[in-house]
Amino acid sequence: MKTSTSIAILLCSAFLSINAQGLEPIISFEDNSESYCMQICFDGKCFYTVNGGVKDVGKITAYSINGIFLQSYPLPLDMRSIFYHTRNKCFYVCTTDKKLFKIIDINAGTYELVYENLYDNKQISLTIDPNGKFLYAFDNGTLSIYKFKTGTLVRTLSGLKCGEGNRKGAATVAIDRKKNIYTWDSDTKTVFVYDKNGKFLISHKLKYGDFGYSLSFAKEMFFVSNSPKNKKGTWFGYKL
């Protein structure tokens, strides 16, 4: 009986210690964004990041699965997010003027408008579920879910925790393969996880990452970045 009690105490102590110190990342790598490290996605072969904040230096940057720089693709947009649609094999980016663009040719830097003005907050980092059926826009605790094919609003979930203000996580969300919902408070480095119906599951403090816009899901991990203005930033990938 004493042995069982001791093991339970040790496990509990270990969990509390990890939570207090912060969850360790599985992967990390630098991103020379030239502005801010906004978002990251994965196309099945490579990571792709977008910067934001300065339209003139807008770009998509490709990295290997180990975080090794491969190539940058100029794209003169002030972007807030990037995602890869696994069914139609295309990249999409959303911008600070509330527009969603489909990338037609990443090498040529061509794109076409898909939707605009789906939401009110121009700082929102729009994302998609891994099946490519729904778009998600998070704004200060409220998650709006749209059909990808039509842009029709189909559901809203309210009362989700996040940081105060866009820069602290109030306008970004990540969705995993189970459609679990990730929000965060970058000020306290805390990620909150909910099921697809908005039921709270767990929260975790992270060891690294403090840029509020950066919360993303890629390659079975959720990512956040450190992103000093106009300097190299760093991406951190975590698993709960």
Query: Which three-class secondary structure state does DSSP give residue 201?
Result: strand
- Judge contact between 186 and 218, C-beta under 8 A: no
- For 51-58, which contacts have Cβ atoms below 8 Å and span 24 or more sequence positions? 51/79, 52/78, 52/79, 52/80, 52/96, 52/213, 53/78, 53/229, 54/78
pLDDT tens track of the chain, all 240 residues? Answer: 444 444 333 334 334 434 557 999 999 999 999 999 999 999 999 999 999 999 999 999 999 999 999 999 999 999 999 999 999 999 999 999 999 999 999 999 999 999 999 999 999 999 999 999 999 999 999 999 999 999 999 999 999 999 999 999 999 999 999 999 999 999 999 999 999 999 999 999 999 999 999 999 999 999 999 998 778 999 999 998
Instruction: Tell me which residue has tokens 């527009």.
Output: 99
What pTM value is reported for the model?
Answer: 0.90
Enumerate domains of the chain plus CATH numbers. 26-238 (2.120.10.30)
For residue 218, give both structure tokens.
Answer: 């890629």
